[in-house]
Amino acid sequence: MKNLINKVVVITGAGSGMGRAYAHAFSAQGCKLALCDLDSDGLTETVAQLDVNPADVFHQSVDVSDHAAMTDFADAVKRQLGPAHIVINNAGIEGSAKPTWATDLSDYRRVMDVNYFGAIHGCQTFLPHLQANNEGAIVNISSIFGLVGTPNHSDYCGSKFAVRGYTEALMAELHTSPIQVHLVHPGGIDTNIARQDRSRAFSDHFLSTKPEAIAAKLITCIRRNQPRLVYGNGSGKTWLGARFVPLKWLSSIIWREMRPVIDLSEYPKQP
């Protein structure tokens, strides 16, 4: 999809971080924007920052984990702007930042509901729009933690591996269609996703790449129909490690690198 002018772009999680950066980047390409986020204040702030015709932006507070709410949002987008051409399933939350044995089952369900089922809901509710247009692009945001498993992130990694598997299956299903499918594995992007005190050291050390940079890369991927984007702090070595390093060695490397920046309070005391 080379021509983006007047294309309707749906962005979930547009109230901050990468979602906000995507909104700015695609508006600069002459796109119409359909934005949603559970955080209505953040979403309103994003819209206020955009230098666009108000008629070309539709926004709504939506819980992406609620399929009925996403269906209503998709219907509203079609009424306000027309059928979507590009859908960016970006909304996501962090996990418990605890080791597996200290993570409650409710945390696993909460993270999967937003990160994984949110992406599924976005695809299912907007895919008919793309099919009606006979063109389009679906962009699902995984993570480099969808490439490797990391300590204190089993809930988050599980959700992002699930997004990866779902999206790669979707690529195969749509490979003969005019609909592009893109899988994004952001590295350490400077967003506010890590909000807990126990995540602070990890956030300060790792989240450094500006979200505007990955937004620009994503536009290039869509124009060139490149199916996978791995970008951001730490992404290159993670991608190489996931592809070429034996799992036993990789687990040891990951533990050594992550240990200084994760909360070890739930681990047995070391002698």
- 131 DSSP assignment: H
β partners of residue 37: 61
- DSSP letters for 118-129: HHHHHHHHHHHH
Q: Tell me how far CA of residue 91 lies from CA of 19, 94, 141, in angstroms.
A: 7, 11, 8
32 alpha-carbon distance from chain centroid: 20
Alpha-helix residue ranges (DSSP H) falling in 81-195 = 105-111, 117-133, 154-173
Residues 6+ apart with CB under 8 A from 141: 18, 88, 89, 90, 92, 119, 163, 184, 186
**Catalytic residue check, 166:** no
Annotated active-site residue in 22, 116, 156, 231 = 156
Residue type, 173: E
127 alpha-carbon distance from chain centroid: 17
Beta-carbon-side half-sphere exposure of residue 167 (alpha carbons within 13 Å): 32
Q: Catalytic residues, which ones? A: 156
